[in-house]
Amino acid sequence: MIDFHCHLDLYPDPFAVADEAQARSVGVLSVTTTPSAWPGTSRIAQGRPVIRTALGLHPQLARERIRELSLFDRYLPETRFVGEVGLDGSPGLRSSWNQQVEVFEHVLASCSAAGDKIVSIHSRRAATAVLDRLDQHLGIQRPVLHWFSGTAAELARAMARDCWFSVGPSMLASAKGRAHIRDIPRSRVLLETDGPFTQRLGAPLQPWDVYSALGGVAQLWEMSEREATTIFQNNERLLLA
Ligand code: MN
């Protein structure tokens, strides 16, 4: 099983979390929030084949880090995985919207030109704006919408664009999230924790907590965890092929 969206570099002891993920054979897509974090974060994956590192520039940091777009382009050839990138339309981030759009459009254009990138995308309160950009960059063939929280109409649009969705405990905890998980085609669902930002009983989620998300999704799908595991493993294989 793979945790498709985890901020490994933001745990107090990333190497310990990475070692335990390796010992448990839990895969991790280790997303970053700034291009300057790339060299240090990719070191966590060294010697731990379960970990794949993604190059990112988080929308919340777009204004402060827009100058790192040149670093983004420099590191992009080193990885097939990109994230966390996207747009955030939350009221507190309205003042950085133009920079967010500039960063996201640059990232999509670079990834589209490079080809074959798997992109983990944040779209809080901005699903329509994200989907508008994805429609302009059809070279992004495997967008993965992480923790999707748009409307049912936006979800339908994302499905028509053949997006993938990484779902985790936070989506399972809300009625809207559960409705989305029921509506997404089973062949396009992946698991995530978004640790360490997400918590359970006051403790940050760890990559192996994808198994609790697996249980929740299996319940919604009215099947056994074993059957759901087969679906997720097939999906992972298809996405990474
Ligand atoms: Mn995240």
pLDDT digits (tens, 9 = 90+) for 110-157: 999 999 999 999 999 999 999 999 999 999 999 999 999 999 999 999
Cβ atoms of 54 and 106 closer than 8 Å: no
Residue 5 has pLDDT above 90, yes or no: yes
Q: Mind listing the pLDDT tens digit for each residue in 91-109?
A: 999 999 999 999 999 999 9
Instruction: Evaluate if residue 192 carries a pLDDT over 90.
Output: yes
The one-character DSSP state at 139 is: T
- pLDDT digits 0-9 by tens, 162-184: 999 999 999 999 999 999 999 99
Q: Which helix (H) or strand (E) covers residue 15, if one does?
A: helix 14-24
Residues 6+ positions from 189 with CB-CB distance below 8 Å = 164, 165, 166, 167, 181, 217, 231, 232, 235
What pLDDT is attached to residue 202? 87
Cα of 131 from ligand 1 centre, angstroms: 18
Q: State the pLDDT confidence band at 4, using cuts at 50, 70 and 90.
A: very high
Distance between Cα 192 and ligand 1 center (Å): 10
Tokens of 10: 């933001």
- Which residues crowd ion ligand 1, with CB under 5 Å? 84, 194
Give residue 67 CA to ligand 1 midpoint distance, Å.
21
Residue 200 has pLDDT above 90, yes or no: no
Taking the model in full, what pTM does it have?
Answer: 0.97
Torsion of CA 191, 194, 196, 200, to 10 degrees: -60
Cis peptide before 12 (omega within 30 of 0): no
Q: What is the pLDDT of residue 207?
A: 98
103 CA from centroid of ligand 1 (Å): 17
